[in-house]
């Protein structure tokens, strides 16, 4: 029955003959492990397509929702973190494989007549692979992606004469990164580059099959062997090894996700992906009018040289050990790239934003306004839980089930003397805050009531007691005379914040904020509380 089905397919489509023709093609006797990189690169691309499709099923391609959908993928979706890890690290490993493949072809001299077109199509595939990295960089829509893309568009704007048009094409006319830029990067990454890549791969494979695998000169006269099974086995082993490394990285190394993109956060230090760091470092050597040399001239010359290699070196193919010049050039390029990349890493200031800031689970109390968290502190301080047991009725009603319907005046009097011979420890501002809390509160406040850490609660009480909201906004509540306090830990350390409380004018010249003489305990609680509030 199986034979009948295969015969039917062969008669209608010729698929069996095509597979046999592909598998039993002649390859040189010298073919071996050094020819596996092309197959690995193809598998790497297919892996990116597959994982990209899985991500796209849960990804919202708009600036506002892209970050939230990606956070949902990595924190809530089953195997979502693994899926993103495979796609993220797969991109880096794919670039490595493609570059190694190009280097191997260069060292072997496999670009020479009649394989010039094969090399040139491969060079285009290398550029397309890098284009995937550029267009995909923005899609997480966190600070790292946003500011990295800002740098990319600024470099593109340096193109003489064409700069404004390039910016307009990128949707960044005026230098801003917004919905148009995002939509065009996403369209290029998902709609334009994949079909272009499939077309180029088809042409590349056709040209390889047309001219055959480049043999070692001394082995040209030896009998050829079939692609299957020996070379297929080696390609499969190499592909499996590559995929094993990818899976290990996806499991062991967490992909960073910072805070959602903030165009006003000018303190963020942008850096490109590791494979573009060498270019970033090169730009530092060209300042002012010479900036165009590092940004446009040198990269353009490098790309032209890459394409013109078959026409520059037109000598006969010789053994690898005789290609001293080609090997020396590759070694020089690797050393130069490594030195520039290492220098870029060494001179990069440490980021004040945690690379996993967007992956941290936010507790309900961290999103509460300070007055409501301070009211929880007042509830605990006055031992209200002795009668109002949270989660069940006791001597007093359970206030987590429903807000109190009592008027504020009645509550204030009740708080001052909740029982005969019992007096409150709270001051009037704390009493008013507690009255407001038990009559009207956010839903998150109920969740935080029993779970909020005591240290954070005490910090919120210090915050309220010193009327910090009169100048600062925190979790949406407060004035805007001073800077907002959400996400302070991303750009200030603990020592700076403590010093600022004691002597604001020293740390912020021109500040009108008064100096606060806090006890060591209050200072510790207030600083810890503010540092724990996310952006």
pLDDT tens digit sequence for 437-448: 988 877 778 888
**Per mean pLDDT, which range of 178-187, 297-306, 410-419 is the poorest?**
410-419
Q: Identify the burial level of 14 via C-beta atoms within 10 angstroms of its C-beta, where 0-12 means exposed, 13-18 middle and 19 or more buried.
A: exposed
Reply yes or no on whether the pLDDT at 490 is more than 80.
no
Is residue 308 included in any domain, yes or no?
no
Q: Of 250, 275, 300, which residue sits at a domain end?
A: 275
In a domain? residue 419:
yes
Structure tokens at 16: 């069996």
H or E segment to which residue 27 belongs: strand 26-27
Whether 216 is in a domain gets the answer yes
What angle in degrees, to the nearest 10, is found between the helix axes of 428-439 and 408-416?
130
369 with 257, same domain: the answer is: no
3-state secondary structure of 126: helix
Place of tokens 């805070």: 259
**Each residue of 236-248: pLDDT tens digit?**
999 999 999 999 9
Please provide the DSSP assignment of 472-494 as one string: -EETTEE-SSS---TTGGGT--H
Could you tell me the residue range of the domain that residue 389 belongs to?
364-531
Three-class DSSP labels, 312-341: HCCCCCCCHHHCHHHHHHHHHHHHHHHHHH
What does the block give as tokens for 511? 């500040």
Is residue 370 domain-shared with residue 249, that is, in the same domain? no
Residue 513 lies in a domain: yes
The per-residue b/e assignment along 174-189, b for 16 or more CB within 10 angstroms, e otherwise, is eeebeeebbebbbebb
Domain co-membership, 370 together with 269: no
The answer on pLDDT for 397 being more than 70 is yes
Report, as an integer, the average pLDDT of 300-306: 95
Answer yes or no: do 382 and 497 share one domain: yes
Here the CATH number for the domain that contains residue 505 is 1.10.760
The verdict on residue 77 lying in a domain is yes
Indicate the range of 16-30, 38-52, 81-95, 459-473 predicted with least confidence: 16-30
Residues 510 and 371 placed together within one structural domain of the fold: yes
Nearest to 166 by CA among 148, 180, 154: 154
Domain boundary residue, one of 257, 275, 293: 275
Which class for 313: exposed (0-12), middle (13-18), buried (19 or more C-beta within 10 A)?
A: middle
Claim to verify: residue 82 and residue 224 sit in the same structural domain: yes
Q: What is the number of domains present in the chain?
A: 2
Q: Examine residue 384 and state whether it is found in any structural domain, yes or no.
A: yes
Same domain as 255, residue 393? no
Q: Decide: 437 and 379 in contact? Cβ < 8 Å.
A: yes
Co-location of 185 and 58 in the same domain? yes
- CATH code at position 225: 1.20.810.10
- Whether the model pTM is above 0.85: no
Mean pLDDT of 422-444: 86
Q: How far apart are the C-alpha atoms of 223 and 200, rounded to whole Å?
A: 31
Domain check: are 101 and 248 in the same one?
Answer: yes
Q: Which of 275, 305, 320 is the last residue of a domain?
A: 275
Residue 27 β-bridge partners: 225
Going from the C-alpha of 83 to that of each of 53, 80, 182, 240, 258, the distances in angstroms are 10, 5, 22, 18, 18
pLDDT recorded at residue 360: 79
In this predicted structure, which of 89-98, 229-238, 343-352 has the lowest mean pLDDT? Answer: 343-352
The average pLDDT across 321-339 equals 94
The answer to whether 97 touches 122, Cβ cutoff 8 Å, is no
Instruction: Please check whether residue 326 lies inside any domain of the structure.
Output: no
Which pLDDT tens digit goes with each residue over 259-296? 889 887 777 888 888 999 999 899 888 988 888 999 89
Q: Is 519 left (phi over 0), alpha (psi -120 to 50) or beta?
A: beta
**Quick check: is 35 in a domain?**
yes
By CB neighbour count within 10 A (0-12 exposed, 13-18 middle, 19+ buried), where does 203 fall? middle
Is residue 174 scored above 70 in pLDDT?
no
């Amino acid at each position: 029955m199986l034979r009948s089905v295969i015969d039917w397919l062969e008669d209608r489509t010729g698929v069996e003959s095509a597979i046999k023709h592909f598998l039993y093609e002649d390859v040189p006797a010298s073919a071996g492990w050094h020819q596996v990189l092309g197959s690995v690169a193809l598998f790497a691309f297919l892996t990116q397509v597959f994982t990209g499709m899985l991500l796209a099923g849960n990804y919202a391609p708009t600036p506002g929702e892209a970050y939230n959908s990606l956070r949902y993928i990595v924190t809530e979706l089953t195997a979502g973190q693994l899926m993103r890890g495979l796609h993220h690290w797969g991109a880096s490993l794919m670039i490595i494989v493609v570059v190694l493949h190009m280097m191997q072809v260069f060292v072997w001299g496999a670009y020479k007549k009649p394989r010039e077109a094969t090399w040139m199509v491969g060079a285009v595939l290398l550029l397309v692979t890098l284009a995937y990295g550029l267009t995909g960089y923005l899609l997480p829509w966190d600070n790292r992606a946003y500011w990295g893309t800002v740098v990319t568009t600024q470099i593109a704007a340096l193109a003489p004469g064409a700069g404004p048009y390039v910016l307009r094409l990128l949707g960044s006319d005026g230098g801003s990164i917004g919905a148009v830029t995002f939509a065009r990067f996403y369209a290029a990454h998902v709609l334009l580059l994949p079909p272009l890549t499939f077309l180029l791969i088809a042409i590349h494979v056709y040209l390889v099959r047309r001219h055959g695998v480049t043999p070692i000169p001394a082995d040209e006269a030896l009998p050829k062997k079939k692609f299957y099974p020996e070379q297929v086995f080696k390609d499969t082993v190499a592909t499996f090894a590559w995929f094993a490394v990818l899976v290990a990285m996806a499991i062991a190394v967490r992909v960073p996700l910072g805070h959602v993109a903030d165009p006003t956060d000018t303190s963020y230090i942008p850096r490109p992906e590791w494979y573009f760091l060498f270019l970033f470092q090169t730009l530092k050597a060209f300042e002012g009018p010479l900036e165009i040399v590092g940004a446009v001239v040198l990269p353009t010359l490098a790309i032209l040289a890459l394409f013109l290699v078959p026409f520059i070196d037109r000598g006969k193919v010789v053994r690898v050990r005789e290609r001293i010049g080609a090997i020396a050039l590759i070694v020089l390029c690797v050393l130069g790239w490594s030195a520039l990349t290492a220098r870029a890493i060494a001179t990069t200031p440490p980021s004040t934003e945690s690379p996993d800031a967007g992956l941290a689970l936010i507790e309900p109390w961290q999103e509460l306004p300070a007055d409501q968290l301070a009211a929880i502190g007042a509830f605990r301080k006055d031992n209200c839980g002795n009668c109002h047991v949270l989660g069940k009725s006791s001597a007093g009603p359970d206030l987590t089930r429903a807000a109190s319907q009592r008027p504020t005046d009645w509550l204030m009097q009740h708080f001052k003397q909740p029982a005969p011979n019992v007096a409150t420890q709270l001051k009037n501002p704390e009493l008013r805050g507690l009255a407001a809390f038990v009559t009207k509160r956010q839903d998150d406040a109920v969740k935080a009531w029993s779970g909020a850490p005591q240290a954070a609660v005490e910090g919120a009480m210090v915050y309220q007691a010193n009327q910090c909201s009169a100048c600062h906004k925190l979790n949406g509540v407060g004035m805007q005379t001073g800077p907002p306090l959400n996400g302070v830990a991303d750009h200030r350390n603990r020592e700076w914040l403590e010093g600022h409380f004691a002597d604001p004018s020293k740390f912020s010249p021109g500040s009108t904020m008064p100096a606060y003489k806090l006890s060591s305990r209050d200072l510790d609680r207030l600083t810890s509380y503010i540092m724990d509030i996310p952006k």
